[in-house]
């Protein structure tokens, strides 16, 4: 018998890979929470943004909506359509979304009535390290309340409003991990402080 161990191992490996791929693509989406309380200093940083020196991200115990802390984002964006990126999941903690289809995303935010910045984008990293940005319609309105306000949006994670990095193929390779918030300053720039707590994900079954 012309048995070739190497070829056999390759075949076995590709069978396992195919099975993993299949189980991934047929994974049942389930509701997930992203708990700001589980974050530590090593999860957060200000990304390299245009004209946003002086922007700061921290974990704040100042009136968190739940638990001991919320994200505090101080943005300082110069005029000229700059932005500040606030990375809050460098370790890519759960949830890891299978990226298929639409998700209802909710997050609690508070800011103040003077906020002019916006729009705000939510960024994810795919399984290969490609960045996907999804704009959050009307988030600015929620940020103009100084009380905790629930912001809800349904996003199709297969249809982003921008992607770059890695091979930049535009394909949201599972799993997708929450990564950062990007606050745009608008033509006049803006400076302000916003808080974010309790982000949740629920598959949108169309009901
Ligand atoms: Ca909290
Ligand atoms: Ca990709």
Q: Which domains does the chain have, with CATH numbers?
A: 30-203 (2.60.120.260)
CA distance 148 to 16: 47
Q: Which residues contact 36 (CB under 8 A, 6 or more apart)?
A: 59, 64, 67, 69, 70, 71, 88, 196, 197, 198, 199
Distance CA 88, CA 104 (A): 20
| CA-based end-to-end distance of the chain | 58
Distance 88 CA to ligand 1 centre (A): 13
- Provide the pLDDT for residue 4: 57
State the pTM of this model: 0.85
Q: What is the pLDDT of residues 162-176, one digit of tens each?
A: 999 998 999 999 999
pLDDT tens digits for 189-204? 999 999 999 999 999 9
pLDDT at position 125 is: 96
What pLDDT sits at residue 206?
A: 79
Higher pLDDT, 100 or 190: 190
Alpha carbon distance 56, 71 (integer Å): 11
Give ion ligand 1 contacts, CB < 5 A: 36-37, 64, 66-67, 197
Distance (angstroms) between ligand 1 centre and the Cα of 7 equals 52
């Amino acid at each position: 018998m012309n048995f070739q161990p190497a070829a056999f191992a390759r075949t076995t490996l590709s069978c396992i890979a195919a099975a993993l791929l299949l189980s991934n693509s047929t994974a049942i989406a389930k509701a997930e929470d992203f708990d700001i309380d589980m974050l530590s200093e090593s999860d957060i940083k200000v990304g390299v943004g245009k004209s946003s020196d002086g922007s700061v991200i921290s974990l704040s115990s100042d009136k968190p909506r739940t638990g001991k802390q919320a994200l505090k984002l101080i943005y300082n964006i110069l005029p000229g359509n700059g932005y500040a990126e606030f990375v809050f999941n460098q370790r890519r903690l759960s949830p890891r979304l299978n990226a298929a289809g639409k998700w209802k995303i909710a997050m609690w935010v508070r800011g103040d009535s003077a906020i002019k910045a916006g729009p705000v984008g939510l960024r994810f990293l795919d399984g290969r390290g490609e960045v996907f940005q999804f704009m959050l319609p009307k988030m600015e309105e929620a940020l103009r309340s100084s009380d905790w306000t629930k912001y809800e949006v349904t996003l199709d994670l297969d249809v982003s409003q921008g992607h770059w990095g890695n091979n930049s193929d535009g394909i949201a390779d599972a799993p997708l991990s929450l990564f950062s918030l990007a606050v745009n300053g608008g033509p006049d720039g803006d400076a302000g402080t916003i808080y974010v707590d309790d982000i949740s994900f629920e598959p949108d079954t169309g009901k």
